[in-house]
Amino acid sequence: MARTEIYGIRHHGPGSARSLRRALEEFRPDVVLIEGPPEADATVELAADPDMKPPVALLAYTTDTAAKAASADAGDRRHRAAFWPLAEFSPEWQAIRHAVGNGVPVRFCDLPAACQLADRPESTDGPPGADGQAGEGDPPASQAAAEEPAAHDGAAGSGGGEAELIRLDPLGWLAQAAGYDDAERWWEDVVEHRGEGPSPFPAIAEAMDVLRREAEERSARGEQVVSEAYARRERRREAYMRRTLRRTLKEGYQRVAVVCGAWHVPALRADVPASRDEQVLRGLPKEKVAVTWVPWTHGRLAQWSGYGAGVRSPGWYHHLFTSPDRPVERWLTEAARLLRAEDLHVSSAHVIEAVRLAEALAVLRGRPLAGLEEVTEATRAVLCEGAEEPLALIQRRMVVGERLGAVPARTPMVPLQQDLRAAQRRLRLKPSALVKEQDLDLRKPLDLERSRLLHRLRLLQVPWGRPQSAAGRSKGTFRESWTLQWQPEFDVALIEAGAWGTTVRGAADARARALAAEATALAELTSLVEQRLLADLGEAPAAVMRALADLAATDQDVAHLMAALPPLVRALRYGDVRGTPTGPLQEVVDGLVVRICVGLPPAARGLDDDAARELLERINAVHEAVCLLASPADGRAPAGRPAAKEHLDRWQDTLAALVDRPGLHGLLEGRLTRLLHDAGRLADVPDRMARAVSVGQEPARAAAWIEGFLSGGGLILVHDEALLRLVDGWLAGLPADSFTDVLPLLRRTFGRYAAPERRAIGERARRLGDPAAGRPAAEDLDPARALPAVRTVAQILGRPA
């Protein structure tokens, strides 16, 4: 006689996973049904591959949109997708591993992904997935929260009545009935921390049966439970599970194990006529879908990531599952090892004392085993000695964890994913959930290829690498600094990008061409041209260059021209470094520089503070670009075109004419004075500063002048005592109320300097009253001792000692 066992589990629970594995070993089923999309049946055997390392996720995505790749509307190519994540401590994963390890068939019995994605609205109730439309789910987010106590912390359904609380958070309701204010703690005490003993599944099934009857009775009395759309979706899911179970039994299987969310157990045990289920399932919408496995991370299993079935501490749960004996001692030992790796002093005595404290707290609170809260409090008090920073490190590295799973090479993938994986192996760039800093030297072929790959992925909206900000990277054009971190949703982005091509380079080129055809703003088009060169997609097509030249010639807004110049200059410079042809790009740059020099003086008239500050940022960017243009990588101006040095001279002439214009904003006048002083174009800087900070000037304008002049760095005050005396005298002579008014501006200026700069300025200012201070007397000098230092400096300067 056929026998069916239904195991109601909690997704991602180590206690549930351990109990389920033990129950399956005792029951020895000849087929296992698991809550999940049946389209994944063809890929489940990959779980036996040794290269499959959880956490992983089943990814289902629509495929019929790929036929719309020729459409210009990117929205037409967007796939809807859903994830079913599985960790090593997930009961479903353990059921799969048990079945494939024993040669037992595995089938997924939930509503097909083809129906779930077709029925999913544009904006779901669950957390957004990688494409902004689909939710992450295990099961999908639309029902995950309904089965998980962690989703609501025992306080779900606020404002919806007791019936809604029972339906949306059944385990939270049970926790309240047991006197717990935290459903997570209650579930850990009764299931996760339990050792050997009778199976918990009969008790769980009985509890769910009572809760469902209570919810139905309250709903019959008119209490709000869930929306009609949600209820309809749940009825369809449970009807499909019953249909799959009936068909499995008809095939002659005698020992059937069903693994599903605890809430569904009573529904699967119910005696519902097949005709009624067929009526519920009639007319289901469908989409064309594909299913594959993708790597996942523990961070994406955590509740804070927005995952409806998430847990608070994936790393802790992984530890509980993999360390069934003495988990507290092992956890605190690992925490001590982590802190020692960060050069923090943690001894064996610390670990012993922390274990004792955690166990004492568990006894005081009546818990069978010290949980994460007790261990965390012991870690804070003993190992971290009350400091929060080391505790935050443990929280990030251990409690949540930074584990990234892996899938076998034979896993079904779109061609673009396969091409990227081959490139990652070839370039030795391994994806990781950890944040990794990567410095690239573009003179090395390997690093140059890595840079091109990362730039191409950014064009495809797969930001695996993020270039570091200009403030934190080297000014040298041969170096790039990236921050790398792989996210699971990048696989969906790659599937999306597969509509553009089958290789990373081809897809990036196709998307760049499409974006260029749609670009209407000059800055947008220039940025795209820069991205093409950085990604080594070849010279921009003639149509793109014509559009760029036309926009540059017709745009009358000098602010737009100034915003467009820096990316084009960077593209020229990087084109030289990377060996990428730049073609007619130089001609566009030549025209932009001339038009900016002509249009800047009128644009600088009558500006308020905000407008002046905005123009100052653009002037700084253009100045840096023109200086970069004047010193190309090979040290020579491009043959046959106006010398880059002429652009620098024209730009400096424009600034020199503008700095003496009456009515120029003080911020701009100060900054232009500094730029011309650094270029050696002004010999009367002390006189100009003296006039700017004289008694006749408004304190606010004088402060703005000083801010603009010093915005390039404060070392000039260290090396030019005359300027330092002028600033010091102006500050000392300010009335009290004026000093209070200008103080915020000055603090903002000096606060941007590095601590050594501020310290050096302060030391020089302290010695202003004593000209002899800090300078050794001639009789104190020892030429013999100074000679080695003099020789070293002379050698550095290339002069004879």
pLDDT reported for residue 530: 80
Q: Indicate the SS3 state at residue 465.
A: strand
* Short-list 309, 308, 331, CA closest to 318: 331
- DSSP class per residue in 157-202: STTSHHHHHHHH-HHHHHHHHTT-S-HHHHHIIIIIT--SSS-SHH
C-alpha 775/C-alpha 93 separation (Å) is 75
The sign of the torsion formed by the CA atoms of 187, 185, 369, 383 equals positive
Tokens of 151: 């989703």
Domain ranges of the chain: 3-305, 325-401, 415-497
Q: Taking each helix axis as running N to C, give the angle between helix 609-629 and helix 558-578, from 0 to 180 degrees, rounded to the nearest 10.
A: 30
pLDDT reported for residue 496: 80
Asked whether 420 and 490 are in contact (CB, 8 A), the reply is no
Residue ranges of the alpha helices (H) in 468-541?
Answer: 490-497, 504-518, 522-534
Cis (ω within 30 of 0) for the bond into 139? yes
Residues forming beta bridges with residue 135, ordered by sequence position:
128
Q: Running along the chain, 801 residues long, what does each successive block of 10 average in pLDDT?
A: 88 85 93 94 92 92 57 49 90 94 94 84 36 33 34 36 60 76 74 71 88 79 69 90 94 94 91 92 88 88 62 85 87 93 91 94 86 91 91 88 86 90 92 87 89 92 83 56 89 84 89 83 80 77 72 78 83 64 71 86 88 90 85 46 73 90 88 86 81 77 82 74 77 77 76 79 76 53 82 78 60
Residue ranges of the alpha helices (H) in 662-735?
Answer: 666-678, 685-692, 699-710, 715-719, 721-732
Asked whether 401 and 315 are in contact (CB, 8 A), the reply is yes
* Short-list 4, 39, 10, CA closest to 264: 10
Tokens of 374: 């007790």
Tokens of 107: 């089938």
- Phi then psi for residue 300, to 5 deg, are -80, -10
Asked whether 10 and 262 are in contact (CB, 8 A), the reply is yes
pTM given for the model:
0.68
Tokens of 189: 């005490």
Pairing of strands 289-295, 56-62: antiparallel
Start-to-end Cα distance in the chain:
102
C-alpha 191/C-alpha 203 separation (Å) is 11
C-alpha 156/C-alpha 137 separation (Å) is 19
- DSSP class per residue in 572-616: HHHHHHHT---TTHHHHHHHHHHHHHHHHHHHTSS--HHHHHHHH
Asked whether 77 and 68 are in contact (CB, 8 A), the reply is yes
Helix (H) or strand (E) holding 290, with range, is: strand 289-295
* Short-list 758, 775, 747, CA closest to 717: 758
Pairing of strands 255-261, 3-9: parallel
8-state DSSP, 406: B
pLDDT reported for residue 70: 37
pLDDT reported for residue 302: 73
pLDDT reported for residue 349: 94
